[in-house]
Amino acid sequence: MDRIALPVTLRDGYLNRAESVEESIFHSVGLLLCTRPGQMEFLPEYGCDVWKMEFSDLNVANKGEVRASLRNAIDKFEPRLFNVSVSFTPHTDSASHVLGMSVKVTGNYRDAGEEKKFEATYALG
pLDDT digits 0-9 by tens, 8-17: 555 565 666 7
pLDDT of residue 111: 95
Give the distance from CA 69 to its chain's centroid. 12
**Integer Cα distance of 99 and 105 in angstroms:** 17
The model's pTM is: 0.77
User: What ranges do the domains of the chain cover?
Assistant: 10-124
Fold assignment, 10-124: Nuclear Transport Factor 2; Chain: A, (3.10.450)
Residues 63-73: tens digit of each pLDDT: 777 788 889 99
Q: Where are the alpha helices (DSSP H) in 1-125?
A: 21-33, 57-60, 63-77
* Residue 23 or residue 15, greater confidence: 23
**Integer Cα distance of 52 and 61 in angstroms:** 13
